[in-house]
Amino acid sequence: MKTDLFLVTPPFTQLNTPYPATAYIKGFLNTKGITSTQADLGIEVILALFSKKGLEGLFLHAEASSDQKKSLNAKRIIALKNEYIKTVDAVIAFLQGKNPTLALQICQEDFLPEASRFEQLEELDWAFGAMGTQDKAKHLATLYLEDISDFIIECVDPNFGFSRYAERLGRSANSFDELYEVLNQDYTYMDEILIKILEERIAEIQPKLFLISVPFPGNLYAAFRCAQYVKQHYPEIKISMGGGFPNTELRSLSDKRVFEFFDYITLDDGELPIELLYDSITKEQAFKLYKRTFLLENGNVIYKNDALRSDYKQFDVGTPDYSDLQLDRYISVIEIVNPMHRMWSDGRWNKLTMAHGCYWGKCTFCDISLDYIKVYEPVAAKLIVDRIEELSEKTGQNGFHFVDEAAPPALMREVALEILRRGISVTWWTNIRFEKSFTRDLCLLLKASGCIAVSGGLEVASDRLLKLIDKGVTVEQVAQVTRNFTEAGVMVHAYLMYGYPTQTIQETVDSLEMVRQLFEAGILQSGFWHQFAMTAHSPVGMYPEKFGVVKETEVIGTFANNDINYTDKTGIDHDKFSYGLKKSLFNFMHGICFDYKLQDWFDFKIPKTTIPSDFIDQALLGENRLLNTKSTAKIVWLGGMPEMEVFTNYKKGKSLEMVNLVFHDKKESFSIQTTKNEGEWLISILQKIAVSNTQVYTFQDIKADFETKMELFELFWYSKPIYSLREFGLLVL
């Protein structure tokens, strides 16, 4: 099957779902009538390795080539090699969802061979009571794979990793020397598997242009190995690199040796640069145009950015196309039983974007000077839902991960309304800022449309540092927003940061106390601590003097340039907090150890927290979320129409016609009572503001409608019947 372009993601990114970059580009190429084929070489290598034939070869290689003294764990795995070889195909099929009955056998715990990874099971036994048989089996199967991975790292290839490969060679590689030296050595065992797969695909496809997407440092080495093979055996094929790694790391590239492997390296949005590369290769033109492209010309690395054409708008880039990718062969694993954290590795998600760039674009640790953050362009809600429907039909899967830097709340609202109007069933999650726009009612709307989880940056849980970061939120506000999501049934993951410039030990301790209280209050379900890293394209990296840090070197390397070594004027060793922060968080995520003193998590002396023990509880009190309706607020009804029963109420000899309105919610039935006039108006207005209708009514609109028939609308709006409806789907947005 010959095509003009071959798009690949090299090993490794995720086991459960393809990284979306090639699907985005293929979707764009479809709009231009350019034929292309795509492949995720990572999952193909994993499946070749974790198979009966693959493990037979792996054990033979390990036993034949390794003279080193093996650990007791490795010796145990070798002794059990026949058990691994016998079970691996069945386990992989189970993790692909093709062999669900195997769960019963796995859960008996005498089917899988067990090595060191299973030692943690005693600590996690408590969790399995809440897990179904399938989930428990999936977790045990994951430990089984991780045991084999440990064996590979010790006995075959120390650079192996399920979601990254030889990552050290790509991280902060200011010089190309080390990577270049490794690339001129013989193939590793993993290289041989990769190149065999690539060899078959290139021979079949015979592309004119070979595009390699490199999202992370852990994909870089394999990308160069792929390019090296194609250069040596198919010199007529042009090769280009793009993706997240070059976009951030290779913006000042000058080492000409890189172009022994690649003909082009493109930056930022790939659509127009790739179209121009294709034109330059396939069309006879005297003058060739390039967009944000490095190439070698007359022996020198040059950067060409012909500005005659502008980048494509999001409306014109097409719907991501996942065809060619082996969607039914991805494997779902459960590394940790926390339900939010597992979503990164369990289940397959179609990836989409609500908006290009970040609508906030101010955080001082972020690469806000680069186009992927700086250029903000939202996609129309109707087009997003069109793409949801198209992808659901093509892939047969209705799970979506919106991969925005921070999804805009107003656009999330419109997308949710459009999903509900069309009556489609979708499961989705995304990344957000914990801003006050996420009210109780907006969170309920998002949940009703299929939103199951959000992740957002709490960063340093200190108001002083949040202001320095320019996050635009306070800890109190974060608490209220996470409460709103949690009460709506949407799980919340928080990105946490330590070691930010000028952060004191006291602020680190106080930040941990804030996090402890958020988990204890039940309004965070998941989190992860990251140590601050200074990058060249962030405000901290560009203006370090404003943040109390000093760059250790101003020398710009000839290869990758992004992470910057620096000295914090506080002189604090933030590394020593890493273990205690992560260990405490692991326990908090599992709902335990809230009564431990913060000192218990550290093996060195820390100061006592200055945060009141009820700080988060107080932040959640006193906010009346129902007595606050703006005239421009949109009013939406998520429920159905009620049954009406008329009755007469007698009081002091006077009769008053009343109605009992009976509503049927998905979980329960409830009723409210009003006067007959109010009840009839309420039924009529609920029909108008039903979420299925395209016309949206504001608070002012329904007030005006009410006052054509009756008086004292506010008295009715803030009455008990309306409060009841507010609890069952009458939303103020």
Residue 618: is it exposed, middle or buried by C-beta count within 10 angstroms (0-12/13-18/19+)? exposed
Residue 292: per-residue pLDDT: 96
Report, at the CATH architecture level, how domain 349-533+575-619 is classified: Alpha-Beta Horseshoe (3.80)
pTM recorded for the entire structure = 0.92
CB 466 within 8 A of CB 500: no
- Give the Cα separation of 479 and 456 in Å (integer): 12
Residue 327: per-residue pLDDT: 94
Residue 293: per-residue pLDDT: 97
Residue 560: per-residue pLDDT: 82
Low-confidence ranges of the chain (pLDDT < 70): 66-67, 121-131, 164-173, 286, 336-339, 341, 553-555, 622-628
Residue 64: per-residue pLDDT: 81
CB 346 within 8 A of CB 333: yes
- Residue 490, phi-psi category: left (phi > 0), alpha (psi -120 to 50), beta (remainder): beta
Residue 413: per-residue pLDDT: 97
**In the beta sheet, which residues pair with residue 567?**
550
For residue 74, the SS3 value is helix
Residue 625: per-residue pLDDT: 57
Residue 461: per-residue pLDDT: 85
CB 292 within 8 A of CB 305: yes
Residue 576: per-residue pLDDT: 94
Domain 5-42+165-309: which CATH class? alpha beta
Side chain identity at residue 288, one-letter code: K
Side chain identity at residue 388, one-letter code: I
Ranges of each domain in the chain: 5-42+165-309, 67-155, 349-533+575-619, 634-732
Residue 611: per-residue pLDDT: 95
